[in-house]
A and B are shown apart, each in its own frame.
Chain A
Amino acid sequence: MLIELDFWPVLAQWPLLLRGAGWTLVLTAIAALLGMTLGIACAWSRVNGPRVLRWGAGAYVELIRNTPFIVQLFFIFFGLPAAGIKLSPFTASVLAMVVNLGAYAAEIIRAGIEATPRGQFEAAQSLALSRMQTFLHVVLPPALKKVWPALVSQITIVMLGSAVCGQISTEELSYAANLIQSRNFRAFEAYILGTLMYLVLAIAVRRLLNWAGPRFVFGR
């Protein structure tokens, strides 16, 4: 038996879907900015930092990369209150996304940093740049440029992963689809529309970042 598909009851709730997509983008934007910063800091620690920091950053990267995002999110949202740290669903989602992206970005950016030719360091040293200046102005921009496609993919993956945040009642896109199907029982239609919106968002975010990278992140 085949049930007929009827998209109208779902489409009638378009403000919910749009608002959900908006929140997904907000989550992704914050996570991308903070996550990349964290990633750069960790990549620096792993390459140049003192031994303790190097080891700490390594442990963090491996721990996050080898556990599922949903468990990280639940640990932060359900686990941390037991330790006295109570977070709103939105804050918990952002925190989980930042921590998650930070680990992957660290590994990606480190690969870019390690590909820097030795001559660049020597040239920077001969210009009397400090270690920090060398890192920020000589090493980092070309490293980011080299790994930008991988970073863009990772940011997109984190955005798609944020669908899980609906499970702790963050009101993003998957939450909106869930809410709509619980109102009119058009589950399949609601999820089809939600999924297509994610696809559009993923393509749009990828385009935007590919455009923005050379202009705002690492210069030409």
Chain B
Amino acid sequence: MIEFTLWDIVRNLALAARWTVVLSLIAFVGGGLVGLLLLVLRLSGRAPVNRVIGAYVQLFQGTPLLMQLFLLYFGIALFGIDTSAWMAAGVALTLYASAYLAEIWRGCVEAIPRGQWEASKSLALSFGQQLRHIILPQALRIAVPPTVGFLVQVIKGTALASVIGFVELTKAGGMIANVTYEPLLVYGCVALMYFVLCFPVSLYARTLERKLHVGHR
């Protein structure tokens, strides 16, 4: 029988944590792009489009991420496409992140006074120019802290990809716990590693928030 030292456990978990980071980045960047598209569609505002996007957001915020993962894992296969855990997890987390980010950013855009829209319109700026030069730069300033905060939620969300067989930190933890018979130690290490990944991001989000509100105090 092979003996596992603490170092073996930690090293293998750290190797698996890479995939947690990669998946988080894919979901965050992909979700950001799709979310931005949804935001622009929503702002250019025809009622039916708004309703569809509203339903999309409600659907992803009102159902468990785990079920979304299952649905995509089995759903993509129905179209005759060979699904891997990689693809299902990547797509599901991207869609999930896009719904949340679109909603967060919409709030930020709505926080910009209406006068800014009207003033820029009276300067004969087109919709695209209004967004690009007037609204988004101001909204961006408010949007950064909650967006960074949401990254923590994405990192934690990737843990669910373990359920459909994606070998990231949680799944690796389960496998290592099974061979070492030390579940307490292994899951403790897994939790600590997530903490090490998430806590700095949380702190950074909080710092940004404090900086943003410094003028309002």
Contacts and interface: CB of A to CB of B under 8 A. Distances in A.
Given A71-B173, A71-B187, A160-B63, A188 B159 contact: no
Interface in B44-85: 58-59, 62-68, 70-71, 74-75, 78-80
A199 B63 CA distance: 5
Interface string A142-173: 00000000000000100011111001000000
B64 A71 contact: no
A191 B202 contact: no
Interface string A173-198: 01001000100000110011011001
A69 interface: yes
A203 interface: yes
A79 B55 CA distance: 40
B63 A195 contact: yes
Interface residues of B, number: 41
A61 B195 CA distance: 12
Contacts of B63: 160, 195, 198-199, 202
A35 B187 CA distance: 23
Nearest to A3: B78
B182 interface: yes
B183 interface: yes
A71 B74 contact: no
A71 B174 CA distance: 10
Q: Which of A71, A162, A177, A181 has the most CB of B within 10 A?
A: A71
A2 B62 contact: no
B191 interface: yes
Given A2-B79, A188-B75, A202-B62, A71 B67 contact: no
Interface residues of A, number: 41
B160 interface: yes
A11 B66 CA distance: 21
B191 A191 contact: no
Dominant secondary structure at the B interface: helix
Interface string B187-217: 1101100110011001000000000000000
Contact of A78 (B58, B187, B191): B187
A67 B173 contact: no
Contacts of B94: none
Nearest to A167: B163
Interface in B143-185: 152, 156-157, 159-160, 162-163, 170, 173-174, 177, 182-185
Contacts of A14: none
A194 B74 CA distance: 14
B71 A188 contact: yes
Interface of B: 58-59, 62-68, 70-71, 74-75, 78-80, 152, 156-157, 159-160, 162-163, 170, 173-174, 177, 182-188, 190-191, 194-195, 198-199, 202
